[in-house]
Amino acid sequence: MNPPREPAASAVVPMWVDGKPRAASSQRTGEVTNPATGAVTRRVPLCNAQDIDAAVKAAAAAFPGWRDTPPLRRARVMQKFLQLLQANQKDIARLVTGEHGKTLPDATGSVQRGIEVVEFACGIPHLLKGEHSEDVGTGVDCHTLRQPVGVCAGVTPFNFPVMVPLWMFPVAIACGNTFVLKPSEKVPSASMRMAELLKDAGLPDGVLNVVHGDKEAVDAILGHPGVNAVSFVGSTPIAKTIYETCARNGKRVQALGGAKNHAVVLPDADLEFTADALTGAAYGSAGERCMAISAVVAVGAAADPLVALLKKKAEAIMVGPGEKEGVDMGPLVTRQHRDKVAGYIDQGVKEGAQLVVDGRDCKVPGHESGFFLGTTLFDNVTPGMKIYQDEIFGPVLVVLRAKTLEDAIALVNRNPYANGTAIFTESGGAARRFENEIQVGMVGVNVPIPVPVAYFSFGGWKSSLFGDLHVHGAEGVKFYTRTKAITTRWPHQDTPAPGFNMPTLG
C-alpha cells in the first residue's frame, strides 16, 4: 500500500487519469486554501476540454474489460477499498478539515457516512439480480438483466469532499461502469487520495479518473459524447442547468440542488432536547450542510422558551480551527463565502428581523486571517425576507412563528426547496400528519438531520433535485444500470410458428 502523498504548499494538484497522476494541459489554476489560517496551501488545475477528453477516453477504454468482470470480483475490489478507507479514515478526514475547515470529528463522521456506501456497494452481486417469469406464454419465458450504462461522470460540491463522491462512484463502479469524477475545485485532495486507494485495492487503470476545475471542465463533461450519465450535487441554479443540458445532450442525469431545511417545533416537544438537536443541526459544519436546519418554525407557545434556549446554546458554541480539540464549529470554506454570509446578516437586520445572536464580530486568537464567523440567530423572521428565502449556507438560523401545525405545514410546503425537514413533538398523531402532508424528500421525527443510511436512497424534491432517481441505495443501482428484458422461446414440434399478428404469447 502506498503511503499518503501530500502535495507541497506551492504544488499543483494533478489529475488522476488511467491509474496515475497526470498534469493538466490547461494553464489556468485556482487556489486551495486552509480556511482556518487563510493560507494558500496548493493550487488546482482548472481543466480544459482536452484534459476532460483524456479522462473520458481512459474511462471508455477501460469500460469493456470492467463491464465483463464478474460482479463478485468487482465486489472484492470494493471490499479491499473498504478496508483501506477504514485504515486511512483519520488521514482522509484531516485532508477534509485542511481544505473545508470543518472540525476533525465532524470530518471523520462524514468520511464514515461515505464508507457506508462502499459497504453497500460490496453487495452488488445481489443488487444486480434481475427478474424471471416462467411461462409468460406457452413455452415462453421472460427475464431482465441490469447492465452498466458506460462512462459515468460525477460533479460534486465543496461541503462533503469525501461523502458525496462516495455516494456516486462506488455504486457506479460496482455496477460495471467506469467513472470520471470532478470534485469541487476548493477541496480537491481527498478525491485524489481515494483514487490512489482504489488503485491499491486492485481497481484496473482507467476505471476511476479524477479531473479538476470549474464551469469550463463541467461544460466539457456535459458536451462530451463519450459520457453516458451525469450525477451532480451542488447549488440549485447549477443543478437545474446541468439537468437541462444533459437532457438536451441525451445523457442520463440526476442533479441534486440546494436546500432550506425547516424544523417545525410544536409546544408539546421536549424543548431542551429540541434546542440541543437544532443547535447541532444549524451550526454543525458552520451550517455548510445541505441537510442543515436553517429555518425553525415555532408553533404557538413553543416560540419564546425555544428562542431563549437556542440563544443560550448558540452563544456557548466554541469557534476555532477544525483540528483543535474541543472546537464545535470551524471556519467557512473561503473568505468570499464568509463575507457573503456576513452580508446576509446585515441584510436581515435591514429587513427588520430581530437579531438575537450576532456572529459578525467573531475573533479567533492566533487565526486572525481565518474565515471565521460566529453563530447567528434571528427571531421574528417572515417569509418575505431574503434571509428566509435564500439558502445562506452558513451558521445563521432563522426562527419564524406559526399559530398552528396546519399553518407550519403550509409554510414549509410553500418553500421551493424540499431537501430535508423535521418535526419535534411528543404527539404521534401530529408527527403522522406531518409525515403524510409535507412535500419534502427526507423527513425526521425528532431527528433533525434525517440523512438516510446507505442502503436507503438520498434525495430531495422540487428545487432540491432535478431528475427522478435519488443517490445510493436501490435508486443508485437503478441510476447506474439499464434494464434489458429478454423474452425466450425454445421451439419444439407442438408450438405453432410465430405468425403475422401482434404477438400475445398466451
| Chain residues that interact with ligand NAD, rule: CB under 6 A | 155-160, 164, 182, 184-185, 214-215, 218, 233-235, 238, 256-259, 290, 391, 393, 419, 460, 464
C-beta closer to ligand NAD: residue 63 or 480: 480
Q: Which of 47, 246, 290, 362 is catalytic?
A: 290
Shortest gap between Cβ of 234 and ligand NAD (angstroms)? 3
C-beta closer to ligand NAD: residue 424 or 458: 458
Shortest gap between Cβ of 302 and ligand NAD (angstroms)? 27
DSSP codes, 222-251: HH-TT--EEEEES-HHHHHHHHHHHHHTT-
C-beta closer to ligand NAD: residue 193 or 470: 470
Q: Grid coordinates representing 401?
A: 412563528
| Dihedral over alpha carbons 76, 78, 79, 81 (to 10 degrees) | 130
Residue with the CB atom nearest ligand NAD in the bound state: 234
Alpha-carbon gap, residue 58 to 63, rounded angstroms? 9
C-beta closer to ligand NAD: residue 158 or 388: 158
CA neighbor of 476 nearest in space, from 494, 496, 458: 458
Alpha-carbon gap, residue 40 to 427, rounded angstroms? 51
Alpha-carbon gap, residue 156 to 243, rounded angstroms? 14
C-beta closer to ligand NAD: residue 178 or 261: 261
Please enumerate in sequence order all residues whose Cβ is within 8 A of that of 398, keeping only pairs 6 or more positions apart, or say none: 294, 295, 296, 348, 353, 378, 381, 385, 387, 388
Convert 269-290 into a string of H (helix), E (strand) and C (coil): CCHHHHHHHHHHHHHHHHHCCC
Shortest gap between Cβ of 338 and ligand NAD (angstroms)? 13
- Catalytic annotation on 290? yes
Q: Residue with C-alpha cell 455516494?
A: 167
Contact call for residues 209 and 17 (beta carbons, < 8 A): yes
Alpha-carbon gap, residue 434 to 453, rounded angstroms? 21
Reported as type and span, the H/E element at residue 29 is strand 29-34
Shortest gap between Cβ of 237 and ligand NAD (angstroms)? 7
C-beta closer to ligand NAD: residue 46 or 298: 46
Amino acid at 279: T
Shortest gap between Cβ of 187 and ligand NAD (angstroms)? 9
CA neighbor of 159 nearest in space, from 374, 334, 295: 334
Shortest gap between Cβ of 398 and ligand NAD (angstroms)? 16
C-beta closer to ligand NAD: residue 148 or 476: 476
Alpha-carbon gap, residue 425 to 389, rounded angstroms? 25
C-beta closer to ligand NAD: residue 77 or 155: 155
Shortest gap between Cβ of 259 and ligand NAD (angstroms)? 5
Task: Name 29's bridge partners.
Answer: 45
C-beta closer to ligand NAD: residue 122 or 256: 256
Alpha-carbon gap, residue 375 to 396, rounded angstroms? 6
Distances (CA, A) of 390 to 50, 258, 336, 398, 410: 36, 10, 17, 11, 18
CA neighbor of 228 nearest in space, from 175, 163, 166, 187: 175
Alpha-carbon gap, residue 262 to 410, rounded angstroms? 12
Q: Residue 389: which region, alpha, beta or left (left: phi > 0; alpha: psi -120 to 50)?
A: alpha
Shortest gap between Cβ of 215 and ligand NAD (angstroms)? 4
Three-point CA angle 164, 170, 176, nearest 5°: 140
Shortest gap between Cβ of 90 and ligand NAD (angstroms)? 23
Catalytic residues: 290
